[in-house]
Amino acid sequence: MLTATKEAQANIVLRDILFATDFSPAAENALLYAADFARRFHATLHIVNAIEPVNYALPPETWHATDEARKLESKKMQAFLQESYPDVETNVQMWEGAVPQVLTSAIARDSADLVVLGTHGRTGVGKFLLGSSAEEILRSAPCPVLTVGPHALAGQQWQLDHILYATDFSAESISGARHAIALANQCDAKLTLLHVVENRKVDELVHEADLIESSRRMLAKLVPEGALRGEIRCEVKIGVPAATILEFAKQTHAGLIVLGARRATGVPGAASHLPIATVHNVIAQAACPVLTMRHAKE
């Protein structure tokens, strides 16, 4: 999994990356991100395609045509990876079953440290991730999930030189901040820690200026002295959480957004801005991939 070392959280360990594909254009774009991570971290890239059970009500020639098309897409993908990422070890697996069950089994079988998904919000993995089963995959996966949404830049244009970590100071945030620091160190990227205070919180208990200043101090405490080798910023904004995270990411040209996925439990004086619905909104609109960190068990 994304594991930070104790020495100032300097290293990330990724040995096995699981990429789920339905051979759609959205998956093709996400593949470039998955391959890039595999190359950066010298990880094995496991590619999984979920094959829906055969509909025997259809003519046999339909089954064969679908099977042949899938095999052709698989060969094309393998040829592309061999040419473009010759140093990345890959394997392709075809599993029969529904996407949720297939992914769960594949994660366990390959001891995946990271899952990469491409979403388009209509069918296949996209429908699964952004639909009613989204909380299941984002909250139950035993490893972080990298989601490439429909508005993410084409993979070949991606640059990981700025990481945006949005936090609400929950228990997940403490662990997530360490991982964001480690990732920024290993990728030589600058890091921004962002806290969004919802509009309704302003003037409820304290004045806006006092709340911003106290939140900024809390952000600074998430970064141990000397932990980050590069540039770091602590930002506090007032607004609607998802929209504010997206706008800040756009303005600062973030190459990666890191979030925690959890229920909206609330923290006194802080915004509960990382429940699953907000995570979905960020994933669906972000111009860069979104890394959702492993949640704390509830």
Q: Could you tell me the pLDDT band of residue 264, with boundaries at 50, 70 and 90?
A: very low
What is the topology classification, in CATH, of domain 159-293? Rossmann fold (3.40.50)
- Rounded CA gap, 216 and 233, in Å? 10
- Rounded CA gap, 35 and 125, in Å? 18
- Output the pTM of the full model: 0.84
Q: Please compute the mean of the pLDDT values over residues 6-29 and round it to a whole number.
A: 79
- Rounded CA gap, 70 and 49, in Å? 9
In the chain, where are the structural domains located? 3-155, 159-293
- Rounded CA gap, 43 and 35, in Å? 9
Instruction: Write out pLDDT tens, residues 104-144.
Output: 899 999 999 999 988 875 444 444 444 444 456 666 788 89
Instruction: Write out pLDDT tens, residues 149-187.
Output: 889 988 777 889 999 999 888 776 666 788 888 899 989
Whether 150 contacts 26, CB under 8 Å? yes
Q: Do domains 3-155 and 159-293 have the same CATH topology?
A: yes
What is the topology classification, in CATH, of domain 3-155? Rossmann fold (3.40.50)
3-state SS, one letter per residue, for 82-93: HHHCCCCCEEEE
Q: Please compute the mean of the pLDDT values over residues 41-64 and round it to a whole number.
A: 76
Instruction: Write out pLDDT tens, residues 90-110.
Output: 999 888 887 778 888 999 999
Q: CB neighbours (10 Å) of residue 118?
A: 31
Residues 6+ apart with CB under 8 A from 133: 100
- Rounded CA gap, 76 and 87, in Å? 18
- Rounded CA gap, 165 and 129, in Å? 21
